[in-house]
Amino acid sequence: MEMFDLTLIWAFIIGFGIMMYVLMDGFDLGLGILYPFAPDEDARDVMMNSVAPVWDGNETWLVLGGAGLLGAFPLVYSVFLPALYIGVFLMLAGLIFRGVAFEFRFKSRRNRHWWNRAFCWGSAIAAFAQGAVVGAYIQGFDVENYAFAGGPFDWLTPFSVLTGLGLMAGYALLGATWLILKSEGHIQDWAYKITPMLLAIVLAVFGIISIWTPFVNPVVWERWFGHLQLIWIFPVLALLCAFTVYRSVQRRREGIPFVATIGIYVFTYLGLIVSKWPVIVPPDFTLWDAASAPESQLFLLIGVLFVIPIILTYTAWTYWVFRGKVRVGEGYH
Partner 1 sequence: MELDPLVLSRIQFAFVVSFHAIFPVFTIGLASYIALLHGLFFKTNNPAWDRLSLFWTKVFAVVFGMGVVSGIVMSFQFGTNWSNFSQAASNFLGPVLSYEVVTAFFLEAAFLGVLLFGRGKVPQGVHLFAAIMVAVGTFISSFWILSASSWMHTPAGVELIDNRFHVISWMDAIFNPSFPYRFAHMAMASFLTGGFVVAGVSAWFLLKGRDPEANRRALSMCLWLLLFLAPAQAVVGDFHGINTLEYQPTKVAAMEGNWETSTNVPLLLFAIPDQEAQTNHFSIGIPNLASIILTHSPDGEVPGITEAAPDEQPPVIMVFWAFRVMVGIGLLMIAVALTGLVLRRKGRIYHNTLFLKSLIGMMAMPFIAVLAGWMVTETGRAPWLVYGMMTHAEGVTPSLTGPMALFSLIGYVLVYGVVFYAGIYYLTRVVRNGMLPEEERETTGENFKRPMRPLSATHTPFDDDVDPARS
Pick out residues in 146-185 that bind partner 1 (CB under 8 A): 146-152
Q: Which helix (H) or strand (E) element contains residue 176?
A: helix 158-182
C-beta of 155: minimal distance to partner 1 in Å? 11
Name residue 143's beta-bridge partners. 148
C-beta of 27: minimal distance to partner 1 in Å? 15
Q: Residue 55 or residue 267: which is nearer to partner 1 going by CB?
A: 55
204 binds partner 1 (CB under 8 A): no
Residues 6+ apart with CB under 8 A from 250: none
C-beta of 229: minimal distance to partner 1 in Å? 38
Q: Which helix (H) or strand (E) element contains residue 62?
A: helix 55-72
Among the residues of 106-157, which ranges form H helices?
112-139
C-alpha span between 212 and 166 (Å, rounded): 13
236 binds partner 1 (CB under 8 A): no
Name residue 286's beta-bridge partners. 279
C-alpha span between 73 and 291 (Å, rounded): 4
Q: Residue 87 or residue 263: which is nearer to partner 1 going by CB?
A: 87
- Radius of gyration over alpha carbons of the chain, in Å? 20
110 binds partner 1 (CB under 8 A): yes
Where in 265-324 is the site for partner 1 (CB under 8 A)?
292-293, 295-296, 299-300, 303-304, 306-307, 310-311, 314, 322
Instruction: Indicate which single residue of 18, 19, 88, 259 sits in contact with partner 1 (rule: CB under 8 A).
Output: 88
C-beta of 111: minimal distance to partner 1 in Å? 5
Taking the CA atoms of 130, 285, 232 and 157 in sequence, report the sign of the dihedral they define: positive
251 binds partner 1 (CB under 8 A): no
Instruction: Indicate which single residue of 37, 89, 277, 288 sits in contact with partner 1 (rule: CB under 8 A).
Output: 89
